[in-house]
Amino acid sequence: MYNPRPVFDFIRQEQSANRRVALATITAVTGASARSCGTHMAIAEDGRFAGSLTGGCIEAAVVAEAQAAMRDGKPRTVLYGANSPFIDIRLPCGGSVELSIAPVTHARLGEEACALFERRKSFRLILSGTDQTVTAHDHKSFRFAPGHVDHIPPLRLALFGDAAAMNILHRLAEACGAETELFSANRSLVAENLSAKLLLSPESLPDFAPDLWTAGVILFHEHEWETAILQTLLSSDAFFIGAMGSHKTQAERLDRLSAQAVPPESFARVIGPIGAIPSMRDPETLAVSILAQVVDQYNQRFLKASHMMAV
């Protein structure tokens, strides 16, 4: 799943310890590839690294090239796979991957990028030249172009409910690199998750601010909680709004929204029944099904441009 933040957090940690670090970025792809143009890997002087550029085919070689780049202080372009001078390194997919590998010269690169991720702001990372820069940018999707990469916030799930699938979906999403926020009237569930917020009543909701890269997921058995939450989500930029329940439950849900004078043209934004797999009967399958649907929509809307760079 798209989330470059761990790469920049690794850079931040190395820079805060006054250790050199390099950044490798995919700049061109031919044929099939496990990663897209603009994907990063950060490498420390001692060979530790964060991120990956393939399924493990070239990472050891990239570490060696990055260490050499840090020693001589110069960026380099390296090709692996088809037509590469490194005949002992082949990609199983049969294609090739071109990388830009450069010592990180901007002393606050990791700190600045992580601060923007923390504020869920998109930014442009300049790769051309000898000094990388990070600049806040108001773009909506991930894009790679020669000389720069436009990064967006990673997927965030705002989970509302009391269903058994809540905790499972929360753990799955975080394991895949998504950010999560939990809101529940179930005190036991809130107690298990220190960052969760307790819902006291359907009329008294805690502040939450869904942005464009947020998916709102509602998992209540008691559906009277849903209307106020849906109204808030529908008034936001959230790219995905979905709720658990049958087709009959969905019809009743929309009736309640209509009674609150919610415009009918917005009803199409409320997905129900939620999930990529129809007729789920257990919380584990429901959680997997929801995450698959949300990730697919996030990728289609915000990452499609990155996949178009492969030639």
Each residue's pLDDT tens digit, 102-140: 999 999 999 999 999 999 999 999 987 667 899 998 999
Each residue's pLDDT tens digit, 145-175: 989 999 999 999 999 998 889 999 999 999 9
- pLDDT of 92 above 70: no
Domains of the chain: 5-151 (no CATH), 156-301 (3.40.50.720)
Looking at residue 308, what is its pLDDT? 38
Amino acid at 171: R
Of 21-25, 91-95, 185-189, highest mean pLDDT? 21-25
Looking at residue 90, what is its pLDDT? 64
- Of the candidates 186, 228, 189, the residue with the CA atom closest to the CA atom of residue 206: 228
Residue 62 has phi, psi (to 5 degrees) of -65, -40
Looking at residue 191, what is its pLDDT? 86
> What's the pLDDT band for 55 if we cut at 50, 70, 90?
confident
Range list of H helices, the chain: 5-16, 59-72, 109-118, 165-175, 187-192, 226-234, 247-259, 283-298, 304-307
- Cβ neighbours of residue 239 under 8 Å, at least 6 residues apart? 212, 213, 214, 215, 297, 298, 301, 302
- pLDDT of 309 above 50: no
- pLDDT of 214 above 90: yes
Looking at residue 280, what is its pLDDT? 80
Looking at residue 307, what is its pLDDT? 42
Mean pLDDT along residues 84-95:
63
Each residue's pLDDT tens digit, 169-203: 999 999 999 999 999 988 888 888 878 999 988 87
Mean pLDDT along residues 17-41:
89
> What's the pLDDT band for 86 if we cut at 50, 70, 90?
low
- Cβ neighbours of residue 215 under 8 Å, at least 6 residues apart? 155, 156, 157, 158, 238, 239, 240, 241, 242, 294, 297, 298
Residue 15 to residue 19: CA distance in whole angstroms: 6
Residue 191 has phi, psi (to 5 degrees) of -65, -30
- pLDDT of 83 above 70: no
Looking at residue 41, what is its pLDDT? 96
Residue 102 to residue 111: CA distance in whole angstroms: 18
Mean pLDDT along residues 292-310:
78
Residue 77 to residue 216: CA distance in whole angstroms: 42
